[in-house]
Structure 1
């Protein structure tokens, strides 16, 4: 299934799984009528998320004395909160996203055989994982929607309304509205996959440059590749500057959600209830990991790109070229996905520390709850 995936198909796949979020910009050549329809639909989907968020907030108040229902309502409210949060940010970054996407598509279309080969290697390496992640995000929502048809609960969420909802067609309308919001939530979570795609593309371009630097044999080419390196670095920094806000939203929501997941997992609750929250916990950890892996890879390649020149036959070059190479291998600062005063470097090491903190939090909650029981 994943053997015939090309870079173009990978980009089309990401666009399709994010269709309901309406976070991706249109092409710069889009007509005025298409832009108008795009804005109207984006506003409708934004409003639809709010129509579920407020009833969920009301449910938090109604079920404040019931730990299980309270944690479920909070967990669902946090999940829905991602929709207006990411949508608002992506709207503010519309032009930047448009530039980044169009440059990515242009490079893939105009790339030579060597560049296409490197892009294809990245697609072959990461396609299965990110496709499985998208299936998990959507599968979780679809499972909840289908499961609602076989249980006594009339709706997929714990939302409470200040008016009767048992009669038709109100019941069916609310069910469809909540189902659409749930699919929107899955689509919005896929924005992390989109940010991962941009970082992987930037990393692939650094790797292409590394391969080119191993074959240079004159100062003119050295100068050309140094200019290319700093141009790539500017693009990569723009990618990370955009992705860090998406990462901050994801980490804030997932970190808060893990607290309420821990209350259920550690408390004395039925196994079926705990199993339900285990799936939520898996989704939270997966959403955080989606960007950590490519961010770590980008940080490594951006730091070591210029060192690839040392792997060329520099010892056969004239003294002037050797001196130029000596200047080029001066350590370069890496491109890091960071959030000032919060995350020094978003990488696999940070993801491990995130899991460690979650486990420590679970332990602390267990101690507190055990003392309360005594």
Structure 2
């Protein structure tokens, strides 16, 4: 029997806010001081594990497996810290974007609700699966001490004894908390993707609205809406491209080092842990890539086709204005960092996978030889 679950835009927003809570991406309207204290404390806790992991690499320089594990955990922590810093730097822009999305969802008319629901139906299953995979991957790592001989989930080395029962439990809980911080850092990509899907929906609505423009005043109003969307896109791109760069960089390292574990002679339980991590990180980049690729289409070719189909029936003065809008719509909204991050799109993801698997195959040959 097929389970029919209706996920509305409001439910999707609430779920996303919950899963990224540890990144402090949604500041409350009250008690901002306590919120900032919690943010600083969270970053401190993550760095408190980062340093012992670096020490473990130095101390176990002759143990390649421990080095791989520590590097992967370090990547997760660096990704979390980088995204929290990004959230802090662009907190005003993100708060404004969040407010716009909340207000739009609350006041949407029937047509707007239909378009937004269509996009939520399109993406929620994948994003829900990815969010669950982030936290399940962390959980699989954290329960390692229950089925393996290791004492803690990581091989971190502390400047004090961890043989005491109380200290041992505190260290274990600390590593668990930081692990879920890393999961929240990955889940932040789902929030960015949610904003991108929202922007895509607004472009779809704008394209449909072009059919109802009949005079100069309505066209001016249409142009204003188009400019507002482009401003929204600029603010969204500022933070999203940095998050995407962090995710791509960490994912590349995680995939390569995780793949080495899979072809090693480690126990099956260890391979299962890292196998889940490799699959999760491989699919993680596609969260934002899928949304960004769709945005490229609706902000350019789809919008241009709608405008071109409506502009021919107007008077010459209005058609001239339409041609200016049409020219601007030829430039799609893209997410990239020149020289560091190519345009997020399906083509980019395919090239990324090809390069990652080529690197993995090269490493496998080197290890076997």
TM-score (norm 1): 0.91
State the distance in 2 between where 1:80 and 1:319 align: 59
Q: Which residue of 2 aligns with 1:5?
A: 7
Which residue among 352, 363, 369 is the counterpart of 2:361?
Answer: 363
1:15 to 10, 14, 17: 17
Q: Which of residues 181, 199, 203 in structure 2 aligns to 1:206?
A: 203
C-alpha separation between the residues in 2 aligned to 1:316 and 1:50?
A: 62
Matched, 1:194 2:191: yes
Q: Secondary structure at the match of 1:149?
A: helix
Match runs of 1:206-355 below 5 Å: 206-267=203-264, 272-304=269-301, 305-312=303-310, 316-318=313-315, 320-322=317-319, 324-330=321-327, 332-355=330-353
Structure 1, gaps ≥5 residues long: none
Shift of 1:266: 4.3
Q: What's the offset of the Cα at 1:234?
A: 1.6
Structure 1 stretch displaced more, 133-142 or 318-327: 318-327
Distance in 2 (alpha carbons) for counterparts of 1:327 and 1:291: 30
Counterpart of 1:181 in structure 2 is 178
Other structure's SS at 2:350 match = helix
Unaligned runs of 5+ residues in structure 2 are none
Q: Deviations over 1:146-195 (max 9, x none)?
A: 34223322212221223321221111111111111111111111110111
Structure-1 residue corresponding to 2:135:
138
CA contact (8 A) 1:23 1:86 kept: no
Q: Distance in 2 between matches of 1:226 and 1:2?
A: 40
Q: 1:41 to 1:316 in 2, by over 3 A?
A: closer
Which residue of 2 is the match for residue 163 of structure 1?
160
Match of 2:123 in 1: 126
Aligned with 1:64 (options 61, 65, 81): 61
Moved more, 250-259 or 129-138: 250-259
- Give the match's secondary structure for 1:98: helix
SS of the counterpart of 1:292?
helix
Normalized against structure 2, the TM-score is what? 0.92
1:4-153 equivalence runs, <5 A: 4-26=6-28, 30-31=29-30, 34-153=31-150
Shift, 1:82, TM fit: 1.8
- Pairwise CA RMSD: 2.1
Mapped to 2, the partners of 1:184 and 1:342 lie a distance apart of 26
